[in-house]
Structure 1
Amino acid sequence: MTTLDENNVLVGDIYNGKVYKIGTTNGTYGPLLSDPKMRFPSSAPHQSRHTLRRTPVGASEVVVDNVPRADDFVFKSDGSIWVAQNQWDELSVVPVGATQATLVAGSNISTTLAGVTSGHFGRTPEDRDILYLATSGALGLPINGTVVVAGSIVKIDTASFRLPTPEPDDECDKDW
């Protein structure tokens, strides 16, 4: 779910491959977008496509296809996409122009982001780089099969985040 404007919200329906527009002041609602490619297969587990899609005026297209268990995502002001991966207890980022997601926080053996479900960036100049994340405590898929913790709000400062630069491989530079 996301805010469209002061009078409307958008709600995603993965079961039917639709996005609904809901009027918060007048109670109106209806499908804004319907795309069968956004619907998960009935014979596969929830979130099985592992894709993020964007829909320009026209057909949707795959932006990234390596984001397992993506539950929700949010755009940062720089255009990067931050993805909450609920059942993997992880947070990934897709920088502008990238085609692969990069893990930045969490682990399926850690309670730090246990069941991370959604995120939102701060709205003031002081916290615009702070990503606030809601967690379920891993209720849907307990950590190590048994560990469930209290849900929480976690904040991550993304201001200094940079993708790591690969170190040169000295072994490859040797003259054998």
Structure 2
Amino acid sequence: MFVSRALVCLSLLLGTTQAVLSPPARTVAQWDVGTWAENIAVRSNGHLIVTMLGVPEIWSVDPFTSTKSLIATLTGVTGVTGIDELAHDVFAFAAGNFTIANATATPGSYSIWTLDLNGPGKTKVVKKTVDVPGATLLNGLTTLDAVKGDVLVSDSGLGNVIRVNAYTGAAKVVISDPAFSPPAEGPQLGINGIRLSSRTGPRRTLFFNNWGNSFFGSVPVAADGTATGPVKIIAHNVGLLDDFALSPCGAYVWDLAEGQNELFKISLKTGEATLIAGAPDSALIPGGTSVVFGRTAKDKDVLYVTTSGGLAGPINGTYVEGAKIVAFNVRGL
């Protein structure tokens, strides 16, 4: 029986759909031990674009054949962080220097780049747009205005959001709020993943995670990325939250608690967090870093999760593995 996505979304909002935990999962692709997959985006053809931390690489993964290929190696940086599609097969991303061994970023090393996959004969063009010398750790990235080329990027160290034009390099801090700041003690990592609501126009919502303070929140923004109202904390004490995906109907966010190796579904209405998969002692998604929905008819109900292989927090203090992508079929959840 065919059920429209609108009806599914309505049932989720009304609470009439019963969630089924531990959805079917499969490993799509895996790298060698010592690798860290940091972020993920999806092309219109369904192929996954994956950024790596610890090495300045971007990979393409075909989730239908489980094949992967290196498509770009950057110079002058040691890793790639947030990425989002800016135009058809054109991606904006952040890069800089980060040492995995001691979890230390190099302030002043971060920049915004573009990757264009539209070239003839599958030519790939990678360009640095601008250095952002005032940044300490550029992390999450989301497209603000695809026509103008504006993106928003989070600085996890300084606790702010910067608007950058991925074509001209014009950059400006547009939101700085105490809710974005790192904790007073511990790793100086505050605002992490960011995503804009799919709605265009002057009234949009920027959702964000604060990694060090373990909460998920939102703030309304104008067309230029500036805040038009106060920050709202939606969910508290979920864990060390990394990057996330918004549900197509806007009812939930699918979020990763990196330190706990867990995937959660968080209600945007109530803030209730439901554990979907993983556990502190599980190798299913060790060190989950980012998550995204598929874009084709084959995988529109599939969540793709990238992992760090547990490098920052080995399972039971000893077990690490290579970075990987795990696909979860969350249809009906």
TM-score above 0.5? yes
Q: Does 1:83 align with 2:255?
A: yes
Is contact 1:66–1:101 with CA below 8 Å preserved after alignment?
no
How many residues were matched structurally?
161
Residue identity (%): 35
Tell me if structure 2 keeps the 8 A contact 1:18–1:33: yes
CA distances 1:19-54 after superposition (whole Å, capped 9, x unpaired)? 122222222222221112221223234533211110
Q: 2:229 aligns with which of 42, 47, 58?
A: 58
Do residues 4 (structure 1) and 144 (structure 2) align? Answer: yes
| Matched position secondary structure for 2:322 | coil
Counterpart of 1:71 in structure 2 is: 242
1:1-176 paired onto structure 2 within 5 Å? 1-6=141-146, 7-45=149-187, 46=189, 47-56=211-220, 57-79=228-250, 80-161=252-333
What secondary structure, in the 3-state scheme, does the structure 2 residue paired with 1:2 have?
A: strand
Greater relative CO (CA pairs within 8 A, separation 6+)? 2
The gaps in structure 1 that reach 5 residues or longer are 162-176
Q: Which runs of 5+ in 2 are unaligned?
A: 1-140, 190-210, 221-227
Cα distance, 1:59 vs structure 2 = 1.3
- Structure 2 CA distance, aligned partners of 1:10 and 1:125? 29
Deviations 1:7-30 (A, max 9, x none): 233222232221122222222222
Q: Distance in 2 between matches of 1:134 and 1:10?
A: 22
Q: Which amino acid aligns with 1:2?
A: T
TM-score, length-scaled by structure 1 = 0.83
Letter in 2 for 1:95: S
3-state secondary structure, aligned to 1:55: strand
Structure showing the higher strand proportion among its residues: 2
Pick closer, same or farther for the CA change 1:55–1:96 going to 2, 3 Å: closer
Letter in 1 for 2:326: V
Deviations 1:86-122 (A, max 9, x none): 1111100013422221110111111110110011112
Query: Quick one: distance in 2 between partners of 1:15 and 1:123?
Result: 32
| Contact 2:239–2:258 (Cα < 8 Å) also in 1 | no
Alpha carbons of structure 1 residues 5 and 125: separation in structure 2 relative to 1, 3 Å? farther
**Cα-Cα RMSD:** 1.6
CA deviations on 1:58-85 (whole Å, 9 max, x unpaired) are 1101111131111122101121101111
Structure 2 length-normalised TM: 0.46
